[in-house]
Amino acid sequence: MEFPSSLTFELVTPERAIVREAVDEVQVPGAGGYFGVLPGHTPLLAMLQVGELWFRQGSERFFVSVAYGFAEVLPDRVTVLAQVAERAEEVDVDRAEAAQQRAQARLGGRAADIDVERARIALLKSLVRLRVASKVRVRPSGGF
């Protein structure tokens, strides 16, 4: 069996395809922690958590915020089916900051009828979106 030289990476949500590219590496926020995938990786199926996914083409990294879903890894392919995903350049920073402030206010107020877990997840999603937005593209200086 020939060793693949790249991965076909596909990231989709129920609404649309976010990414369909040939890539050199992918890092995925799995439910058990982040994991990296290179060509030739052992097949695996993993649940996603809220987090920052990135993929690399050559020396450039591209960032995406994702929340929940599944990742299927094959030796030559990574397919991510996410409930929510947003590329760094698509993040509405003002909206993410407003969501962060609302979630922090809900958690800080601790009203009896507040769904603490829902507010915590909303805060986590907004923080990930803001972190991803700050990394539109990363080009390493002097090599990878």
The pairing of beta strand 17-23 with beta strand 7-12: antiparallel
List the chain domain ranges. Answer: 7-89, 91-132
Which one is predicted more confidently, 122 or 112?
A: 122
Which one is predicted more confidently, 1 or 98?
A: 98
What topology is assigned to 7-89 in CATH?
ATP Synthase; domain 1 (2.60.15)
**pLDDT for position 28:** 98
CATH class of 91-132: mainly alpha
Instruction: Decide whether 7-89 matches 91-132 in CATH topology.
Output: no
**pLDDT for position 144:** 45
CA–CA gap between residue 135 and residue 70 (Å, rounded): 24
Question: For 27-72, what is each residue's pLDDT tens digit?
Answer: 999 999 999 999 999 999 999 999 999 999 999 999 999 999 999 9
**pLDDT for position 76:** 97
Q: What's the mean pLDDT in 106-128?
A: 81
Confidence band for 137, pLDDT divided at 50, 70 and 90: low
